[in-house]
Structure 1
Amino acid sequence: MDEHEVNCTVCMEPFEEERHSPRTLRCGHTLCTPCIEALLDRAHHDRLCPECRKPLKISAVGHIPVSYTILRLARALSSATSEPHIRVQVEDGETCLQHGAPIMSWCQKCNVWRCRECKCPKECTVFMNLPEALLHIKQAYVDCTNGNISRLADQKAIYEKKKSEIEKEMLALREKNKKIEENLKRFDASIDKLEEYEAQTVEASSSRRLDKVLGLTNSFLKDMETWLGDLKRSAESEKSSSLRVAPATVKVQAPVPKPEVPLTGPLDFASLKERLKVSQSMYAVQEKGGRTRWAKLSINEKNLLIHALDDIPPPIGATLLPLDSVTAGMSPNKPSAFLDVTIQQRLEGNVYMTMFGVTPRSQNFLLLCSGALGPCFKGLQLKSSDIGEGKPKLSIVLLGPFPNGQDCPPLVEGITDGGSYNSNIYPGLITGYPADHSSSAFQIMLEDMVGFTYDYAFGSVTSGLAVIQSVHREVKGNFREALISDCGLIVPLA
């Protein structure tokens, strides 16, 4: 009896009592217990004998008794085999096609199966018997397959990560699209509102009604300008250029009224107050090089503040004065200027400063406060520092970089050191930098330095020194941002 006759015809494993006990089906064919259990795990219509394809009408493997006769035959054949280590299982395809003898071994070097009669083409002397060869090839296949599965799993993880990132980007795009749709709706509503005001203006039949409509229009345009500014800042803060909203570059403008006739005589507090009662706002106009710019005017105690020049036109109905006629009232010997300082976008206070005289350094400082020649201190940062080696150190507040990241050279010529610029160091002293530095930056001293002088001083703080001290404390100690939110010139009123 050949060994394959006492093997399971499905798994080809030899029958034995512990793991592959034989059980004979009603159709007469014998399978091992694990193979019958595998058949019973299938659906009812698929439970068929693998030999004759007859249906299995059982629900549990225990309903089929163990075939002890076949089990005894398997034991007898196993004990009668002289060389169990080269026992072969002969099934379809397990015989040599050339000699018809059972396959006995495998040459790994030549990758050929051998029977007892086969000779290896390369005259190899080391062979692997059939069970070992089957196990070796299976293990190699499993290892290769596991490697491929691992590589595929790694690639799958990469694509899953990409999918997650795309889903996040799509969510961000949906949020941004929602905001854009809201902005578009507001644009449409604003256009409709302006068209409504335009119709009311055309239909106005009295000066009172016309003034009312113009006032409503001006208030609405101011709100629009604030909103467009918020849109622009939001667009500039976007980190991804592909998701960036186009910044608003077109400014809403009201009809520009013509300047009034220049004032005659010195500016006085009473006349300006009367003008403000009528117009509610007052601006100085600069016409230079074909360009028109406006500086807002406001009154603080007995001083007229000329705010930094801007390209935004004033509201309808504002009182307009030529800039030259307004600045003519400045103190001829000790001109003054102001800075509005914010910390973390909150107004900290106003700083008033008086120049030591009309010098190139003070003139350069005043030009940058007013923006008369273009460059301006408005919007620049204030920094904090302690200078000097050892103790005591000198605490100062100084101007940060200009918008281009570089320093602004002086706007006037003739800046020197020493002479009238020499001064003792005390809190509130305003100084520049050495003339050879070609810088328009300034610094404000916060402490006394007995026995020391500066050769670049040109003015001092007359009011608001506590604001500068707060800047030094918050910027240096709490790492907060301080800005010059506004600046300009001061005209004393008679």
Structure 2
Amino acid sequence: MAEYFQKLRQPLLQEIRKGRVFATLEEPERLVSSKQTLGNSTSENVQFLAKLKFDECGRLCLHHLAETRPPPPHHHFIQFSELMQLVNTSSRLAFIELGARGRTLGRLWIRLFPNTIKGQQFALLCTGERGPCYAGTKVFAVANKGHNMEESVCFGDYEWNSGSGGKAVLDDIDWEQEVVKAIYDRTWEAGIVSCSEPEHRAAQFAITTRDWCETECIGGFGKVESGLSVLTDAIAEFADIRECFIQDCGIALLT
């Protein structure tokens, strides 16, 4: 796939900058078929496409899959599975973009720790390739709001947007054991992304906003690399954090 990008380097990059390149779950030549399957559902005349765009820092971003009907004409389509070959699986870089009251608040870039099941699942929920997706989900709580330590913001209930759901999208995983195993040589510091223990809430995650304590980080699977101020500013601005939601998400390619 890297060679593919090199061959079409200038023409393809120009089309990406124009917003005219999408990733598709289907083979591109079959995109015009009347049915598209995502997860366990089949919809007539609906395609699930993911935008491919550069951000303001020049990172090539694969955005989440979203319903599109019909497929836009005069655009280029690349198979989603091929783009996955451009992901640095040892150090995935994902993003979530927050919105509220009809405006964009900003984007958080999250570097996922290597070899964690939770990190793999987080990336899947940022792209929506298994069906469920973080896009459109609410920020549902601020835990320990205002405390000098332990303040964190809770996300990821794609089922109920309340904190009561968000089941795993990976099967046959002992999630409690995964939490125990996820201990790293780092402390609870601002920006750590950690997981929920029960399987029925295994897609949920929390981001710490302040340096916490000099103890081992248990259950952490990533850290905010940039954009944490977007979250702290939202806490300060919105008395009800549930006004905020993830309006976009995805992963970076070629990082």
Offset at residue 333 of structure 1 (A): 0.7
The answer to whether the 8 Å contact 1:382/1:397 transfers is yes
Bigger proportion of residues as helix: 1
Q: 1:320 aligns with which of 68, 77, 101?
A: 77
Q: CA RMSD in A?
A: 2.8
User: Residue 418 in 1 paired to residue 175 in 2?
Assistant: no
479 and 411 in structure 1: CA distance in 2 versus 1, 3 angstrom threshold: closer
Identical-residue share of aligned pairs (%)? 22
Pairwise mapping of residues 50-65 of structure 1 onto structure 2 (< 5 A)?
A: none
Bigger proportion of residues as strand: 2
In structure 2, what is the equivalent of residue 299 of structure 1? 54
The answer to whether the 8 Å contact 1:378/1:485 transfers is yes
The structure showing larger relative contact order (alpha-carbon pairs under 8 Å, at least 6 residues apart) is 2
Offset at residue 468 of structure 1 (A): 1.2
Offset at residue 410 of structure 1 (A): 1.1
In structure 2, what is the equivalent of residue 365 of structure 1? 122
The answer to whether the 8 Å contact 1:383/1:472 transfers is no
In structure 2, what is the equivalent of residue 28 of structure 1? none
Q: C-alpha distance in 2, partners of 1:271/1:460?
A: 35
Per-residue CA deviations over 1:377-404 (Å, capped at 9, x if unaligned) read 111111342439xx64421111164344
Mark the runs of 5 or more structure 1 residues left unpaired by the alignment.
1-262
Q: 1:444 aligns with which of 204, 207, 210?
A: 207
Q: C-alpha distance in 2, partners of 1:456/1:437?
A: 16
TM-score normalised by structure 2 residue count: 0.78
450 and 270 in structure 1: CA distance in 2 versus 1, 3 angstrom threshold: farther
Offset at residue 283 of structure 1 (A): 0.2
Secondary structure of the residue aligned to 1:265 is helix
Offset at residue 337 of structure 1 (A): 0.9
Offset at residue 271 of structure 1 (A): 5.3
Rg comparison, structure with higher value: 1
488 and 270 in structure 1: CA distance in 2 versus 1, 3 angstrom threshold: same
280 and 404 in structure 1: CA distance in 2 versus 1, 3 angstrom threshold: closer
Pairwise mapping of residues 172-187 of structure 1 onto structure 2 (< 5 A)?
A: none
The answer to whether the 8 Å contact 2:36/2:48 transfers is no
Offset at residue 458 of structure 1 (A): 0.3
Q: C-alpha distance in 2, partners of 1:404/1:479?
A: 16
Mark the runs of 5 or more structure 2 residues left unpaired by the alignment.
28-34, 38-46
Q: How many residues align?
A: 228
Offset at residue 479 of structure 1 (A): 5.8
376 and 275 in structure 1: CA distance in 2 versus 1, 3 angstrom threshold: same
Secondary structure of the residue aligned to 1:328 is helix
The answer to whether the 8 Å contact 1:381/1:482 transfers is yes
Offset at residue 318 of structure 1 (A): 0.8
Per-residue CA deviations over 1:323-354 (Å, capped at 9, x if unaligned) read 11112101121011111111222101111111
Q: C-alpha distance in 1, partners of 2:122/2:188?
A: 19
Q: C-alpha distance in 1, partners of 2:140/2:16?
A: 37
Offset at residue 372 of structure 1 (A): 0.5
